[in-house]
Structure 1
């Protein structure tokens, strides 16, 4: 039984791509040197898969920033504002991803959104009425030939035509159907070019097929691929789906002349049922996604073998595949020197998942596979797994009642009480929480972790940074201050390190967007809090100023969604355990006099099921109450804030209002403030701070630019409901640009208020 991998992590085992790209941004690396580093990584990744024995190895799964952006450039979907910059191709590409501010002009970056139900962010293509979609790029073909020259005939991967059109933003009158002819021609040209280069297979990724599809969507998909496949020649075409099942389009997919169909059997709950009900064509190969591409636990060989044997009844030709790209898991366990062997034996990162594919293939060849050594060893390990068990926590979850999830009094009464108590100015200004993590901050934390400095030295340094941060914010004129989070490596990892039930890695980095990588903790057992986490620094920061300082916490849903979760208990039980721990922290902050407490839920939307029919039964019915559990015990005068970023919120905005926070800040600038219309249409009760400038770009917004954003918000929302803040935390930015941007933000607010109240 052959093996395949949908895609491989591109950042490298030790984040080599991140560091090379950031050096290029700083001017410390030439384009030639950057491309050389990229080529070395690609070769290493191909060789790794080839040496393991993988049969179908992908190319064009690599990107300097984002594969969707790569596809937009490949297809000539480059908005005029970037073409007019007169930059080199690579700098034009990065301008689309990060924005540009320099001699050639001043342009914002394209919007950024979450990639389906993952923590990866993709760049949203913009298609203008004048756009002529056509094949203009060479990247996929150059990388195919590069692999070929290295002795590997790869399976090139391209974002599919349907998914590309569905993800794109249309800025004029034209919509997806107006670009069918152009995109069909472009994809036919892609196929023809690969055929000439000697490719045997080409993979079209179509994750949009696992969403709820309208009749128009189904018609669009069928029309696109009917026309594309009519001219595909002798090359074999794989339709690859992931992140769910394709119940709305399965029959159409098996009727079209694809040579292979990739289905996810990890998250695709109904894919097996679809095959059993409608069969699977004998002239197609089933690429069965049985190795989890999103979580890090070892595969249950007994369950997977049972599944494959069921599939073999309906499909005579099966390739063992990953459930999605391995982009979403860390690179290798080889660099984890602090994890115990008893822990590592339960884990599989990208490289280990290659081994799992090969071992599964070997096991399935054997008639008496139960006697296979790997099979027996794996089953023994799973059956004897031990983890942190806390019966007290389990009992607390079981004893929760409806009252534990309801805050009193109602929002309107709390809003009145808080206005009287705080007497904040109109359009109060604040930030989302973090300030720049400069080299000295990172060095202080690293030296403490290595045991090179004492806790006293480490704490004193952080307090000095907090004092500087408070002084800067007072000088800028912000209304609600933050302590800057200099003690925190990551908003989830930091809390995991201070809670029982987590284990941590050294180098298990996963790409979040561009050069931003995160190191998710692993939820190993029952979660609990043994002592205060943030209280000392928050109280210290408040002692330095007469202005209010927000306590900054990460919410239970985000901690769950940005960790690798357990698979032996339900997500609901897991998040309630975390919520009880964060609730204790909230109450301790309040007891120490912190009256503004922000509980960030940046990842609320992330694990929302991709099909609306599953939203409540599988997620929102416990996710929203979990947030309410965190703050339901505070006094009416304590103001609860939360923050959300880089997702579509319009269809769950009523549920977000039911979180019953007092203030919610949203990412908004990259999505052209579309959230503001949604808030108005739904008569959103919570006070809101739509982000007025993009912090993921190095450009500094001007006062008139921010003023125009605030004015636009006030045209659609009542003054008394609006806060002013950046899009997100400032940890990835530099001190100079942060100070200038915030000064411009405060000045813009002052100008707006002078005009309003003159």
Structure 2
């Protein structure tokens, strides 16, 4: 049975691509050197997959920043503000589209960035003009295909399909429908597929939008488009890939299409096997995504083989391909590097390399008779032993935690006073001006901070010396904020490497990898903690550092926490109980932390929930219950606070306009939002809903190295004040500042503070 992969991690096992990208952006590595690193990584990743048993390795999944941005560059979709005259998109322009820029070439903002479906990966949102022209100008995926062919690999080209590309993009006119650009786009796709067919026997078009709710009137255009693309692919077989959910509700889009193959995510929705097999054209192969591409747990081989047998009964084994459920982009590279993990838990895991081997094992065991072959028998026995060990392990259950969850009472979900009463108490306690200024929490993680953290973890810097270094760093951060004139300060989080990992290290039920990096966006990598057991808080997690910072200033100091939905979504979560059960345990632990921060004198506490929208199901019919449970867990964590304690939350880089009622139900006193890349477009949804509490729309994009002017931020504040009561507005950046350097941070915040002062005068609030 043939195997293939939908994609592989890009960064490298030692984050080689991250190092090269950041050296290139800093001017220490030229474009030729960067491309050489990328080419070497691709070769290594193809070899790793092939050696693990993958027959068709993917090309086109590798990117210097993002695959949706790659496709935009390939088809010449460059917004007008970048001044591109047509033709190939050079590397420096590609990065300006992703990151913005402020140099001799001009001052331009970056393209929008948001979450890739319900993952923590951020993609660059394509921007389409009303008269958008598409032309095959980029050579990236074609060059990768030639590289794979010349190196002797059997390759499958992988790229987003036309409907996912258009529907996840945006038009200059917000009311315009990007899908209407399909007739203009298809010729470029046809030309690209025709050229890829010269080097790749298979071409995969990814259409994860099929797991969402799509308008029924798109079904016929979809079918017509794919019939045209199948023809254009000529001798190559066209594989339509879906993932992140089932597609049974969208079968009219694909039923009977003469595809080379159809890939479905059987990990997310195994129930779709029966209806999908019934809808396949006789010549179409079925690709089963049986190995979880989103999490780090081993496949349950017995369950996977049962699903394989069901599909084989319906279409025959000769029409089945096997693969991970989705791209392995969302997993670390190789578990073999994790020599320090607890062996008991490590035995339950599989990273990208191991998942490729699992696909091979399932393929080798495809026929019942094959399961008696010695090598297959040994592999299945080892898999079964790992699963039995996990099911029986005492590491997973804590009866005290389970009793405490069972004892939660309804009053624990409600603040002790309604918002208007709380707002009056908070104004009296905090004495803030109109349009108060603040930041989202983190400040630059300088090379000195990173060196000290590494030295402390390696035992080269003692506890006392490290604590003294952190105190000095926090004192400097507080002093800088006072000098800038910010109204509500933060301690800067110098002691935290990652906003989720930091809390996981202080909660029971987690373990941690040393090399388990996954890409979040661009060169930004995160190392998600592994949630393998019941969660509780052995002791305070943030109180000492927050209280120390508060002692250094008379101004209000925010205590900073990561919310339960975000800790859940940005961890590798246990799959042996419902996700909601795990999140409720996290919420109880955070409730204890809120109480302790308040007892230590903190009168402003922020509970970040950027993953609230991201964690929702892809189909809207499933939203109501999921939103209600997530909101309840935020309220459970926050509602222990007294009325005069101001509770903030923060959200960014997702479509939050779709869930404004749920955000209101969270009942945070203040919400800060990413809003600058869309120029406050998001706020109209809050205004239409008459959002009752306070809002801090982000005034500048922290993912870009540019420093916005006072006038630019003042204009954004005035835009916000046109739709939101200015007495309920705050001024802040889009997100935390840990990835920025101090010079640009200081310059941008100085402009932000001045913009708020000017806006107060313009609005008659001074």
CA contact (8 A) 1:279 1:314 kept: no
Partners of 2:298 and 2:221 lie apart in 1 by 39
Q: What residue number does 2:40 align with?
A: 40
Distance 1:452 1:672, change over 3 A: same
Matched residue, 1:367? 369
Instruction: State the distance in 2 between where 1:113 and 1:292 align.
Output: 23
Gaps of 5+ in 1: none
Q: Is 1:580 equivalent to 2:585 in the alignment? A: no
Does the CA-based 8 Å contact 1:177-1:220 persist in structure 2? no
The residue that corresponds to 1:263 in the other structure is: 264
Mapping for residues 308-387 of structure 1, pairs under 5 Å: 308-316=308-316, 317-367=319-369, 369=371, 372-385=377-390, 386=393, 387=395
The corresponding residue for 1:187 is: 189
How far, CA to CA, are the matches of 2:628 and 2:756 in structure 1? 38
1:503 partnered with 2:505? no
SS of alignment partner, residue 129 of structure 1? coil
Alpha-carbon displacement from aligned partner over 1:551-602 (angstroms, at most 9, x marks no partner): 0011111111100001111111101111111111100010011000001111
Supply the distance in 1 between the matched residues of 2:19 and 2:568 (Cα, whole angstroms).
28
Contact map agreement 1:133 1:179 (CA 8 A) in 2: no
Is 2:749 the partner of 1:742? yes
What's the CA shift for 1:737? 0.3
Alignment partners' CA distance in 1, 2:289 and 2:315: 14
CA RMSD of aligned residues (A): 1.6
- Contact kept? 1:213, 1:248, Cα under 8 Å: no
| Residue 388 of structure 1: how far off its partner (Å) | 4.2
- TM-fit CA distance, 1:716: 0.8
Cα distance 1:261–1:593, how it changes in 2: closer, same or farther (>3 A)?
Answer: same
Q: 1:657 aligns with which of 657, 661, 664?
A: 664
Equivalences for residues 379-528 of structure 1 within 5 A = 379-385=384-390, 386=393, 387-528=395-536
SS at match of 1:364: coil
* Residue in structure 2 matched with residue 708 of structure 1 by the alignment: 715
Report if aligned partners of 1:275, 1:314 keep a CA contact under 8 Å in 2.
no
- Partner deviation per Cα, 1:703-740 (whole Å, 9 max, x = no partner): 11101100100111101110110000000000000000
Does the CA contact (< 8 Å) of 1:433 and 1:729 recur in 2?
yes
Contact 2:56-2:155 within 8 A present in 1 as well = yes
Within the alignment, does 1:666 sit opposite 2:673 as a pair? yes
Aligned to 1:123: 124
Query: In structure 2, how many angstroms separate the alpha carbons of the residues matched to 1:606 and 1:704?
Result: 33
After superposition, the C-alpha distances for 1:64-95 in whole angstroms (9 at most, x for unaligned) are 00000000011111112113599971000000
Q: Quick check: 1:5–1:322 contact (8 Å CA) kept in 2?
A: yes
Q: 1:220 deviation in Å?
A: 3.4
Q: Is the contact between residue 76 and residue 89 of structure 2 (CA under 8 Å) also seen in structure 1?
A: no
Instruction: Give the Cα–Cα distance (whole angstroms) in 2 for the partners of residues 453 and 177 of structure 1.
Output: 57
Is the deviation greater in 375-384 or in 12-21? Answer: 375-384
| Cα contact 2:78–2:84 (8 A) shared by 1 | no
Q: Is the 8 A contact 1:112 1:123 kept in 2?
A: yes
Which residue does 1:206 correspond to in 2? 207
Q: How far off its partner does 1:400 sit?
A: 1.2
Counterpart of 2:760? 753
Distance 1:675 1:275 in 2: 38
1:281-314 deviations in whole A, cap 9, x for unaligned? Answer: 3311101001100000001001001110011111
Structure 1 residue 279 displacement after superposition: 4.5
User: Any idea what SS the aligned residue of 2:586 has?
Assistant: helix
Rounded Cα–Cα distance in structure 1 between residues aligned with 2:670 and 2:686:
13
1:280 aligns with 2:280: yes
Tell whether 2:719 aligns with 1:717: no
Q: Is contact 2:206–2:240 with CA below 8 Å preserved after alignment?
A: yes
Q: Does structure 2 retain, via aligned residues, the 8 Å contact 1:370–1:376? A: no
Does the CA contact (< 8 Å) of 2:550 and 2:557 recur in 1? Answer: yes
- Quote the Cα distance in structure 2 between the aligned partners of 1:114 and 1:368: 42
8 Å Cα contact 1:85/1:104 also seen in 2 = no
- 1:141 corresponding residue in structure 2: 142
Query: Helix, strand or coil for the counterpart of 2:192?
Result: helix
Residue 6 (structure 1) shift: 0.5
Contact 1:134/1:182 (8 A) holds in 2? no
Which of 639, 644, 651 in structure 2 is aligned with 1:637?
644
Question: Following the alignment from structure 2 to structure 1, what is the Cα–Cα distance between the partners of residues 741 and 210?
Answer: 40
How far apart are residue 366 of structure 1 and its match?
A: 4.5
Normalized against structure 2, the TM-score is what?
0.96
* Residues 676-729 of structure 1: CA deviation (Å, up to 9, x unaligned): 101000010121101010000000000111011001001111011101100000
Structure 1 residue aligned with 2:90: 89
- Give yes or no for the alignment of 1:6 onto 2:32: no
Quickly say closer, same or farther: Cα 1:255–1:750, change in 2 above 3 A: same
Which consecutive aligned stretches of 4+ in structure 1 deviate over 4 angstroms post-superposition? 84-88
**Cα pair 1:188 1:232 within 8 Å, conserved:** yes
8 Å Cα contact 2:193-2:233 kept in structure 1: yes
SS of the residue 1:501 aligns to: strand
C-alpha contact 1:162 1:224 (8 A) present in aligned 2: no
Distance 1:374 1:27, change over 3 A: same
User: Compared with structure 1, are the counterparts of its residues 476 and 186 closer, same or farther at alpha carbon in structure 2 (3 Å cutoff)?
Assistant: same
Contact 1:238 1:260 in 2 (8 A): yes
Asked if 1:600 is matched to 2:608, the reply is yes
> Is the contact between residue 244 and residue 326 of structure 2 (CA under 8 Å) also seen in structure 1?
yes
CA distance in 1 between partners of 2:170 and 2:497 (Å)? 34
Q: What displacement does 1:143 show? A: 0.6
What residue in structure 1 maps to residue 27 of structure 2? Answer: 27
- Is 1:538 matched with 2:531? no
Residues 300, 379 of structure 1: 8 Å contact kept: yes
| CA 410–445 in structure 1, closer or farther in 2 if over 3 Å, else same | same
Mapped to 1, the partners of 2:270 and 2:711 lie a distance apart of: 51
